[in-house]
Chains A and B, each alone.
Chain A
């Protein structure tokens, strides 16, 4: 990395008092945040035209550290809040960041409806398969039979496939990556950020403090190895939606020519004036 690029990177962080961050050693959120910043810089997204919307949870902390407009909302409510920002200021780039609990459990209804409306925003779902902030309880993406703070005898619920739900609900761009595949994740993020309409990037991430410990996977390095071994590129599978026990990474869905909500609502305004 050249010095100029490094300065630009640091310029994107609220270095004055926000650091050191509160994330656990080995957490994947830092990798994700760094990758987000690099993608923003490479796509020339201005800090003054960017609004990061976060909920509550480990993922939401990203909103504290990035130097742009940041909206730390309620648990599960990122998407309606982001809807408001985007509709009030369509010129702003609105990026939602949330975890599997935030977006798929308490915010699940908002997720499917914002996808259905095709609001022009990008959602980054950090999937660490657990509620980290509250101490490792099972989430809607915790695999069946896994252990958790609230599933000491194993989780008997089936888990959600974030990308499958996003596609079914109407997202026009859906991709998956992991914190092991950093450059791949950056590419997926850049594609999502460049897409007009509702784009979703699920990034499987390590939580060595809780999820890794409860499953006996081990520390952050072992968890990254686990992410690597569990991942398979979309080009290597016949049907990405039927693969079991693997994270199919890559662009899983890319739909063209679906007008975003803001564009359609402009049509409503024109009709109303007639």
Chain B
């Protein structure tokens, strides 16, 4: 069935299809449609929507829901995302699967609420205090808002982590005719089998893809964001601290190969444009125009997952590029990551736009 949907709506539908049964949020432009949609649809299927007093409450609320074994999501924009940072760190440390959608607008602070931006790329990576990797998905189309929200819910459930879906205002508010899949793969962690005294909530064997206990399962678990031992109880012994942080790191490091999500075309061309989010749409349009006008190919590499940054893959894929262009609606956030980690010994050009308007194909063309 074909339907006309906005990115925000597709995201909300994807969440439900992936098993999300709880949403806690606070109204904020340009993400509010996600909350509105779920306030209407979740109660119909026995789920719960709650409008919290702020975004700090929202992220802590879904952490509580996740701890009780129900899939949960929140959605916000920059100012709310800033408020959520400590709570996201909590979900990382206590290993609570949940999804945080950030529909980006111009910042810092209140900025321009209805204007688009990709200014939160680095905040998604380094927004919380302390060291930990993170998974951030970046859709470019309405259909991808659906697909990547499903993926985010599944990844969070598999790795016991919060996953961020990073949309921009254009993708969130854009309407497209889409046909959603009739079936999606849904990952559901099972409940553990061993008796209570043999179960450890943070055992080396259950860092990811493993049965996990929730509140009310009879395991009498203790969840904390203090550094803790495998039984969940706090200890600030240096060895345990390191074990904690290594464990968080391993969740992503061990699974990089299947986590990475990107597509590309014509990478043998002299110039390759690396894009993500709504900017990737302008990249594809610019490629077509350039090839029509000049008869020369342009490579396009589109990142659907920006964190963990696929540096090793990019090194291989961009081997024959003579020039790499990174257009973004910010002051060059992912550009630096490409230049720093890919280390190509070829020029990496940053194309920036940060006035709240869409980065156009023409701007990319002039860089080509």
- Chain A: minimal CB distance from B89 (Å): 9
Q: What are some 29 contacts across the A-B interface (CB < 8 A)?
A: A48-B220, A49-B216, A51-B68, A64-B222, A69-B216, A69-B222, A70-B222, A70-B223, A71-B67, A72-B224, A72-B234, A74-B60, A77-B57, A81-B61, A83-B24, A84-B62, A84-B72, A85-B64, A87-B22, A87-B48, A87-B65, A88-B68, A89-B68, A91-B216, A92-B215, A92-B216, A109-B54, A265-B43, A272-B40
CB of B70 within 8 A of chain A? yes
The docked-state distance in angstroms from the alpha carbon of A71 to that of B54 is 21
- Chain B: minimal CB distance from A224 (Å): 30
Whether A72 pairs with B218 at a CB distance below 8 angstroms is no
Whether B215 pairs with A113 at a CB distance below 8 angstroms is no
The docked-state distance in angstroms from the alpha carbon of A85 to that of B215 is 8
- Our pick among B66, B222, B225 for the contact of A74 (Cβ within 8 Å) is B225
B:55-85 near A, CB below 8 Å: 56-58, 60-70, 72
Q: Which residue of B lies closest to A85 (CB)?
A: B64
With A51-B216, A92-B216 in contact, is A84–B60 under 8 Å at CB? yes
CB of A219 within 8 A of chain B? no
- Chain A: minimal CB distance from B276 (Å): 31
* Chain A interface, DSSP helix/strand/loop, else mixed: helix
The docked-state distance in angstroms from the alpha carbon of A82 to that of B72 is 14
Whether B57 pairs with A110 at a CB distance below 8 angstroms is yes
Which A residues touch B54, using CB under 8 A? 109
Q: Which residue of B lies closest to A271 (CB)?
A: B43
- Chain A: minimal CB distance from B199 (Å): 13
Whether A80 pairs with B65 at a CB distance below 8 angstroms is no
The docked-state distance in angstroms from the alpha carbon of A69 to that of B226 is 17
The docked-state distance in angstroms from the alpha carbon of A265 to that of B226 is 34
CB of B290 within 8 A of chain A? no
Interface string of A50-92 (1 = CB under 8 A from B): 0101000000000110011111111001011111111111011
Q: Which residue of A lies closest to B64 (CB)?
A: A84
CB of A17 within 8 A of chain B? yes
Whether B220 pairs with A88 at a CB distance below 8 angstroms is no
CB of B335 within 8 A of chain A? no
B:209-229 near A, CB below 8 Å: 215-216, 218-226
- Chain A: minimal CB distance from B24 (Å): 7
Whether B225 pairs with A85 at a CB distance below 8 angstroms is no
CB of A18 within 8 A of chain B? yes
CB of A6 within 8 A of chain B? no
Which B residues touch A49, using CB under 8 A? 216
* Chain B interface, DSSP helix/strand/loop, else mixed: mixed
Which A residues touch B220, using CB under 8 A? 47-48, 67-70
- Our pick among A67, A85, A273 for the contact of B65 (Cβ within 8 Å) is A85
With A77-B56, A88-B69 in contact, is A17–B40 under 8 Å at CB? no
Whether B225 pairs with A109 at a CB distance below 8 angstroms is no
- Chain A: minimal CB distance from B194 (Å): 16
Whether B215 pairs with A51 at a CB distance below 8 angstroms is yes
B:27-67 near A, CB below 8 Å: 40, 43-44, 46, 48, 50, 52-54, 56-58, 60-67
Whether B221 pairs with A69 at a CB distance below 8 angstroms is yes
- Our pick among B40, B219, B223 for the contact of A72 (Cβ within 8 Å) is B223
CB of B176 within 8 A of chain A? no
Interface string of A15-48 (1 = CB under 8 A from B): 0011000000000000000000000000000011
CB of A1 within 8 A of chain B? no
CB of B363 within 8 A of chain A? no
Whether A80 pairs with B46 at a CB distance below 8 angstroms is no
- Our pick among B43, B52, B57, B72 for the contact of A272 (Cβ within 8 Å) is B43
Whether A48 pairs with B53 at a CB distance below 8 angstroms is no
CB of A269 within 8 A of chain B? yes
Q: Which residue of B lies closest to A116 (CB)?
A: B53
Which A residues touch B44, using CB under 8 A? 269, 272-273
The docked-state distance in angstroms from the alpha carbon of A81 to that of B50 is 13
- Our pick among A74, A83, A85, A88 for the contact of B90 (Cβ within 8 Å) is A74
Which A residues touch B67, using CB under 8 A? 71, 81, 84-85
CB of B339 within 8 A of chain A? no
Whether B60 pairs with A81 at a CB distance below 8 angstroms is yes
The docked-state distance in angstroms from the alpha carbon of A149 to that of B90 is 29
Whether A83 pairs with B215 at a CB distance below 8 angstroms is no
Whether B216 pairs with A89 at a CB distance below 8 angstroms is yes
- Chain A: minimal CB distance from B35 (Å): 15
Whether B56 pairs with A80 at a CB distance below 8 angstroms is yes
- Chain B: minimal CB distance from A16 (Å): 9
Ranked 8 nearest A-B pairs via Cβ: A84-B64, A88-B68, A272-B43, A72-B224, A80-B57, A80-B60, A113-B53, A84-B65
Interface string of A259-274 (1 = CB under 8 A from B): 0000001001101110
Whether A80 pairs with B61 at a CB distance below 8 angstroms is yes
The docked-state distance in angstroms from the alpha carbon of A99 to that of B222 is 20
CB of B261 within 8 A of chain A? no
- Chain B: minimal CB distance from A133 (Å): 12
CB of B233 within 8 A of chain A? yes
The docked-state distance in angstroms from the alpha carbon of A77 to that of B54 is 11
